[in-house]
A = this chain, B = another copy of it.
């Protein structure tokens, strides 16, 4: 079974670094596993970023996210980890990740985290 690994993320050169523009990626089929109960979790990830010198290649992003399928991980951790690993791979000028998970036991949770490049 494949483990989630940011090294599968491929990037390509941003041909327009002179412009601050925005890329929004919506992934409504994210699934991982609750580390306490072993039950599957389901959520929608929305990634919004301003590229600096590189953009993420979308098929590699899909494979990277699919690898969480059997990973036991908390909502807060998976949100921050994916943000960190995307920031590590892309060094974007700005990136926001909103992770909205479906209801469990009558409770639904949304985690929102933002990274901004320094300087």
Residues on A lying within 8 angstroms of B by beta carbon are: 1, 12, 14-16, 19-29, 31, 36-37, 39-40, 42, 51, 55, 57-59, 61-62, 66, 69-70, 74-77, 79-80, 84, 102-115
CB-defined contacts of A29 to chain B, threshold 8 Å:
31, 40, 42, 102, 106-107
Is B76 a contact of A14 with CB atoms below 8 Å? Answer: yes
Instruction: Give the number of times this chain occurs in the complex, counting copies.
Output: 10
CB distance from A86 to the nearest CB of B (A): 13
The closest CB in chain B to the CB of A28 belongs to B106
Is A111 a contact of B21 with CB atoms below 8 Å? Answer: yes
CB distance from A53 to the nearest CB of B (A): 12
Q: Which 8 A-B pairs have the closest CB atoms?
A: A21-B113, A29-B106, A16-B80, A24-B110, A22-B112, A62-B105, A26-B108, A55-B76
CB-defined contacts of A66 to chain B, threshold 8 Å:
39-40
